[in-house]
Amino acid sequence: MSRITRRDFFRLTGGFAALAGVGGGTATFPLSSAAAATGGGKGGALDVEIALKATRAQAAILPGGQTAVWTYRADLVKGDAASLQVVPGSYLGPIIRVRKGAQVRVRFSNDLPEQSNIHWHGLRVPERMDGHPRDVVGPGGSYLYEFPVLNRAGTYWFHPHPHTLTGGQVYRGLAGLFIVSDDEEARLNLPSGEYDVPLVLQDRTFDAQNQLVYLQGGMGGMMGGRGRMMMGRGGTMDNQGAMGGMGGMMDRMMGFLGDRILINGRPDFVLPVATRAYRLRLLNGSNSRVYKLAWHDSSPLTVIATDGGLLAKPVQRPYVMLGPGERVELWADFTKLGARGEMTLQSLAFSGAEGDEMMGGHGGMGRMGGMMGGGRALPNGAPFPVLKVRVAREEKETGTLPAVLATLPRYRLGDAVNGRAPRRFALTMRAMNWLINGRSFHMEEVAPDETVRLNTVEAWEFVNERNPGEMMEQNGMVHPMHIHGVQFQVIERQVVPDLKAGWDTVKDGYVDEGWKDTFLIMPGERVKLVMRFQDHPGLFLYHCHNLEHEDMGMMRNYRIES
Ligand code: C2O
Ligand code: CU
Ligand code: CU
């Protein structure tokens, strides 16, 4: 594994280090079936072939000793050198860059001590190519992914999806970007090359030996890493105590939160820039942390794209909410910063994400979730700096933001076959388990109300409900909900009046104008989506992208019937 040798690691290295090739494992999925399953794609000649090996490695992240990580080693087997961008020294990556319509083949091999696979988040691929948890391979195994790229230009990503193990594998470093370009986007002449900067936001906790801490050492493992825990608004308590043992359990139930923010796998991230316009592609690759992104000087953020690519036209926001799995692309013009200028992107404070209305609103001790969540090292909703931009060089050329970005048809409820009575999905907790319509994940299980028809436009309504009688989460918590196999549009949001206070601290940061595959839903909120199931029949997932929630079973199959 290469060590980190440069800060400025986003430039193309211009040729790749001879990385270890993938051994001759057998594909568990025969190529002929893969090609046959590509359906509406062009299924033509192969354009890109990449070998991706998930393996253990060491990375220099903090000063001092190296950190044991899991990482993808990538090797370009066929295709243009620009289609594979290794992120030197970082545990993250690689970045795969392809054109819409390309035929892509990825030879995955598993060099990890446990089963794994690859899911192409946001991409419209056939069911057996989608990285469903039933399609995992054990240590030493391999899997052949092949699909045509049907999606429009946008920032998609990939990560493992083995049931109960996704959170740990992503946390240790397995995640990369899958960037699609197309003709519509190319005509805009948006900032490219070194002015097109991917930024992956993650939070991590390190122990004194620089090793990653994640739900380790049984129930109390996490608290051990943090030393002491705050008890509500009172004093502190040693982790030896009875409550300390609940730390690991809390992290599972609420989602893991690290106390250090890493960008592209690096702490204290500074992006050297020129005085000109940039395209910043942000992915929230965190397990459960939600970001409320804003420039430190309160200048608005200019958003040009969401999960599924460019918006019809740029929109401005005072801040942008970014939940786990979501992407947002910003147009950022650093012209006015001048020589040596600096700018900080920060995450602002917000409330209500962990149902903590009860704490302030009703002032009770009745809700342990809020009390303990509030005691975590860097709670969801606490403010912190995300990254710094620093001018390293002045440039004459600035770049112009196009007034129109893309042609984007807008759905209305009336376009759906069930617009008057959307399919309803209640998000609840029972006996400390997060559920969807009262159900947990079972590998092959699909209920009748989880079956849709191909070539049909549907409305789905998610409702983040109360959990009366639940000790931990009476008011629920924020969930980043994700649907595989489609891009959808968020049509409508409503919130129950008494949970509106928390919602008001985030609502101006939703960007619902474009295509989405993941959306945030706050406690007390209901969200209506419209989408068309148009590509591939088969079994796909929908789930909470809080990876601890997902691993605990807040995930279900849905079936697209042809
Ligand atoms: Cu990125 Cu099923 O998820
Ligand atoms: Cu996905
Ligand atoms: Cu969740």
> CA-CA distance, 293 to 385, in Å (whole number)?
9
Ligand lying nearest the CA atom of residue 254: 3
Tracing tokens 């051990």 back to the chain, one arrives at 224
Closest ligand 1 atom to 541 CA: 2
> CA-CA distance, 356 to 473, in Å (whole number)?
9
DSSP string of 115-127?
A: -B--EEET----G
What per-residue confidence (pLDDT) applies to 16? Answer: 24
The candidate with the shortest Cα–Cα distance to 224, out of 377, 367, 61, 58, is 377
What per-residue confidence (pLDDT) applies to 26? Answer: 30
Closest ligand 1 atom to 121 CA: 1
Residue nearest to atom 1 of ligand 1 (CA): 121
Measured over the CA atoms of residue 346, residue 171, residue 352 and residue 280, the dihedral's sign is positive
The verdict on the CB of residue 161 being under 6 Å from ligand 1 is yes
What per-residue confidence (pLDDT) applies to 476? Answer: 87
Measured over the CA atoms of residue 29, residue 33, residue 35 and residue 39, the dihedral's sign is negative
- Please identify every residue whose CB atom is under 5 Å from ligand 2, which is an ion: 121, 484
How far does residue 548's CA lie from ligand 3's centre (Å)? 8
CA angle, residues 33, 144, 487, in degrees to nearest 5: 80
- Please identify every residue whose CB atom is under 5 Å from ligand 3, which is an ion: 479, 544, 546, 549
What per-residue confidence (pLDDT) applies to 88? Answer: 77
| Other residues' Cβ atoms within 10 Å of the Cβ of residue 125 | 28
Residue nearest to atom 3 of ligand 1 (CA): 121
Q: What are phi and psi of 314, to 5 degrees?
A: -60, 145
How far does residue 482's CA lie from ligand 2's centre (Å)? 6
How far does residue 324's CA lie from ligand 3's centre (Å)? 10
How far does residue 176's CA lie from ligand 1's centre (Å)? 12
Q: Are strands 423-430 and 433-436 parallel, antiparallel or unpaired?
A: antiparallel
Q: What is the pLDDT along the chain (562 residues), one digit of tens a residue?
A: 333 333 333 232 222 222 222 222 333 333 333 333 333 344 568 999 999 999 999 999 999 999 999 999 999 999 999 999 988 779 999 999 999 999 999 999 999 999 999 999 999 999 999 999 999 999 999 999 999 999 999 999 999 999 999 999 999 999 999 999 999 999 999 999 999 999 999 999 999 999 999 986 443 333 333 333 333 322 233 333 333 345 578 888 999 999 999 999 999 999 999 999 999 999 999 999 999 999 999 999 999 999 999 999 999 999 999 999 999 999 999 999 989 999 999 999 999 998 764 443 333 333 344 444 445 789 999 999 999 999 999 998 888 999 999 999 999 999 999 999 999 999 999 988 999 999 999 999 999 999 999 999 999 999 999 888 887 778 889 999 999 999 999 999 999 999 999 999 999 999 999 999 999 999 999 999 999 999 999 999 999 999 999 999 999 999 999 9
Beta bridge partners of 327: 283
The verdict on the CB of residue 549 being under 6 Å from ligand 1 is no
How far does residue 283's CA lie from ligand 2's centre (Å)? 13
| Other residues' Cβ atoms within 10 Å of the Cβ of residue 497 | 8
The verdict on the CB of residue 327 being under 6 Å from ligand 1 is no
Q: Residue 485 gets which letter from DSSP?
A: T
> CA-CA distance, 341 to 481, in Å (whole number)?
38
What per-residue confidence (pLDDT) applies to 466? Answer: 87
How far does residue 197's CA lie from ligand 1's centre (Å)? 23
The verdict on the CB of residue 279 being under 6 Å from ligand 1 is no
